[in-house]
Amino acid sequence: MDDLQAWKKQAARHRGITRELAAFIAGLTAEALPAGTRDVLSLALVDALGCGLYGLGTPWGRILGRFAAEQGGAPETGLWGSGERVSAANAVLLAGTAVHSFDFDDHSRAKIHPGAIVVPVALAMGERQNAPPDRILAAMAAGYETMNRVSQAANPGRARMRGWHLTGTAGTFAAVAAASVLLGLDADTTASALGLAGTQSSGLWAFTADGGMSKRLHPGRAAQSGIMAALLAQQGFQGPRLILEAEDGGFLFAMSDTPRPEQITEALGERWHTEETCFKPYACCGSNHACVDAAMSLAAEHGIVPDDIARIIAGIPSVVMTQTGFEYRADSVLNAQMSLRYNIAVALADRQLYLEQFAPQRIGDPALMDLVGKIDIEIDPDLDSLYPAIYGGRVTIVTRHGQSITRRVDYSKGMPENPMSRQEIERKYMSLATAGVGARSAADILEQAASLFAGGSVAELNRSLSQARLVEEQAAASY
Structural domain contains residue 414: no
Contact 122, 136 (CB under 8 A): yes
C-alpha distances in angstroms, 269 versus 179, 180, 189? 19, 17, 20
Structural domain contains residue 432: no
Question: What would the pLDDT profile of 402-423 be if each residue is shown by its tens digit?
Answer: 999 999 999 999 999 999 999 9
CA–CA dist 101, 99 (Å, integer): 6
Same domain, 77 and 223: yes
SS (H, E, C) 277-332: CECCCCCCCHHHHHHHHHHHHHHHHHCCCHHHEEEEEEEECHHHHHHHCCCCCCCC
Query: Which one, of 225, 207, 214, lies nearest residue 90 by Cα?
Result: 225
Mean pLDDT of the 224-247 span:
97
Same domain, 325 and 194: no
CA–CA dist 423, 170 (Å, integer): 30
Same domain, 311 and 362: yes
Residue 216 has pLDDT above 50, yes or no: yes
Same domain, 149 and 195: yes
Name the β-bridge partners of 409: 393
- Residue 64's domain comprises 2-276
Name the β-bridge partners of 396: 313, 406
Mean pLDDT of the 75-101 span:
98
As a dihedral over the C-alpha atoms of residue 317, residue 419, residue 353, residue 56, rounded to 10 degrees, the angle is 110
Structural domain contains residue 223: yes
Domain boundary among 246, 276, 306: 276
Question: Helix (H, G, I), strand (E, B), or coil: what is residue 409?
Answer: strand
Residue 478 has pLDDT above 70, yes or no: no
For residue 141, give the amino acid letter.
Answer: A
Structural domain contains residue 457: no
Contact 86, 40 (CB under 8 A): no
Spatial strand order of the sheet with 404-409 comes to 375-379, 309-316, 393-399, 404-409
CA–CA dist 423, 444 (Å, integer): 17
Question: What would the pLDDT profile of 276-319 be if each residue is shown by its tens digit?
Answer: 999 999 999 999 999 999 999 999 999 999 999 999 999 999 99
Q: What is the pLDDT at residue 8?
A: 66
Same domain, 272 and 290: no
Residue 161: give its domain's CATH number: 1.10.4100.10
CA–CA dist 286, 115 (Å, integer): 14
CA–CA dist 93, 246 (Å, integer): 29
Mean pLDDT of the 143-163 span:
96
Query: Which one, of 76, 65, 173, lies nearest residue 118 by Cα?
Result: 173
CA–CA dist 78, 93 (Å, integer): 12
Residues with Cβ within 8 Å of residue 370, at least 6 apart in sequence: none
Mean pLDDT of the 351-378 span:
96
Give the phi and the psi of residue 323 in degrees, each rounded to 5.
-80, -45
pLDDT-derived band at 473 (thresholds 50, 70, 90) equals low
Q: What is the pLDDT at residue 477?
A: 57
Residue 1 has pLDDT above 50, yes or no: no
Q: Which helix (H) or strand (E) holds 393?
A: strand 393-399
Structural domain contains residue 44: yes
Contact 338, 165 (CB under 8 A): no
Contact 169, 255 (CB under 8 A): yes
Structural domain contains residue 221: yes
Domain boundary among 256, 276, 296: 276
Name the β-bridge partners of 314: 377, 395
Same domain, 169 and 311: no
Same domain, 240 and 370: no
**Average model confidence (pLDDT) across the chain:** 95
Residue 120 has pLDDT above 60, yes or no: yes
Contact 149, 21 (CB under 8 A): yes
Residue 372 has pLDDT above 60, yes or no: yes
Residue 321: give its domain's CATH number: 3.30.1330.120
Same domain, 338 and 226: no
Q: What is the pLDDT at residue 2?
A: 57
Number of domains within the chain: 2
Same domain, 385 and 248: no
Same domain, 259 and 296: no
Question: Helix (H, G, I), strand (E, B), or coil: what is residue 4?
Answer: helix
C-alpha distances in angstroms, 219 versus 105, 118, 175, 215, 432? 11, 9, 9, 8, 19
Question: What would the pLDDT profile of 170-210 be if each residue is shown by its tens digit?
Answer: 999 999 999 999 999 999 999 999 999 999 999 999 998 88
Same domain, 256 and 312: no
Residues with Cβ within 8 Å of residue 97, at least 6 apart in sequence: 55, 60, 61, 64, 216, 217, 219, 220
Residues with Cβ within 8 Å of residue 182, at least 6 apart in sequence: 122, 125, 126, 128, 129, 131, 135, 136, 139
Structural domain contains residue 415: no
Q: Taken in order 288, 289, 295, 296, is the CA torsion positive or negative?
A: positive
Same domain, 186 and 118: yes
First-last CA distance in the chain: 51
> In sequence order, which ranges of 351-407 are alpha helices (DSSP H)?
360-363, 366-372, 381-386
Question: What would the pLDDT profile of 10-57 be if each residue is shown by its tens digit?
Answer: 777 889 999 999 999 999 999 999 999 999 999 999 999 999 999 999
DSSP line for 333-357 = HHHHHH-HHHHHHHHHHHS--SSGG
Mean pLDDT of the 341-346 span:
98
Domain boundary among 409, 434, 461: 409
Contact 56, 66 (CB under 8 A): no
Structural domain contains residue 346: yes
Q: Which helix (H) or strand (E) holds 378?
A: strand 375-379
